[in-house]
Copies of this chain bind each other. A is one copy, B any other.
Amino acid sequence: MRLQLTARMRVAHIAPLYERVPPMLYGGTERVVSYLVEEQVRRGHQVTLFASGDSRTAADIVAAVPRALRLDAGHTDPLAPHVVELSQVFEHADEFDLIHSHVDYLAFPFSRLVGTPTVHTLHGRLDLPHLRPLMHHFADVPLVSISNAQRRPLQHLQLNWTATVHHGLPLGSYDLGPGDGHYIAFLGRIAPEKGPGLAIAAAKAAGMRLKIAAKVDPVDRPYFESEIQPLLDDPLIDYVGEIGDADKPRFLGEATALIFPIDWPEPFGLVVIEALACGTPVIARPCGSVPELITPGRTGFLADTLDEIVEALRGVDRLDRAQCRREAERRFSVERMVDDYDAVYESLATGAPLT
Q: Does A7 contact B (CB under 8 A)?
A: no
Contact B87 A108 (CB under 8 A): yes
Q: How many copies does the complex hold?
A: 2
Complex partner residue of A129 from B74, B105, B113, B128, CB under 8 angstroms: B74
A84 touches B137 (CB 8 A): yes
Q: Residue A138 at the B interface, CB < 8 A?
A: yes
Q: How far is the CA of A242 from the CA of B74 in the complex (A)?
A: 35
Cβ–Cβ contact B91 & A112, under 8 A: yes
Taking a contact as CB atoms under 8 Å apart, the answer to whether A81 and B113 are in contact is: no
Q: Which chain B residue lies CB-closest to A109?
A: B87
Complex-state Cα separation, A105 to B76, whole angstroms: 15
Q: Which of B74, B84, B112, B129 contacts A134 (CB 8 A)?
A: B84
SS class, residues of chain A in contact with chain B = helix
What are 30 A-B pairs with beta-carbon distances under 8 A?
A: A64-B137, A65-B133, A74-B129, A74-B130, A75-B130, A76-B129, A76-B130, A80-B131, A80-B133, A81-B130, A83-B105, A83-B106, A83-B108, A83-B109, A84-B109, A84-B133, A84-B134, A84-B137, A84-B138, A86-B109, A87-B108, A87-B109, A87-B138, A88-B137, A90-B113, A91-B109, A91-B112, A91-B113, A110-B113, A113-B113
Q: CB < 8 Å: which of B64, B75, B90, B112 contacts A87?
A: B112
| Bound Cα distance from A154 to B76, whole angstroms | 18
Cα distance, A83 to B103, chains bound together (Å): 13
Chain B, residue nearest A107 (CB): B83
**Interface residue range, chain A:** 20 to 34
Is A219 located at the chain interface by the 8 A CB criterion? no
**Hey, which chain B residues are within 8 Å of A86, CB to CB?**
109
A interface with B by C-beta (< 8 Å): 64-65, 74-77, 79-81, 83-84, 86-88, 90-91, 105-106, 108-110, 112-114, 128-131, 133-134, 137-138
A81 is contacted by which of B74, B79, B80, B133 (Cβ under 8 Å)? B133
Which B residues lie within 8 Å of A84 (CB)? Answer: 109, 133-134, 137-138
- A77 to chain B: closest residue by CB: B130
Q: How far is the CA of A86 from the CA of B75 in the complex (A)?
A: 25
Contacts of A109 in B (CB 8 A): 83-84, 86-87, 90-91, 110
- The distance in angstroms between the C-alpha atoms of A148 and B317, with both chains bound, is 73
Min distance, Cβ A142 to any Cβ of chain B, angstroms: 15
Q: How distant is the Cα of A198 from the Cα of B146 in the complex, in angstroms? A: 57
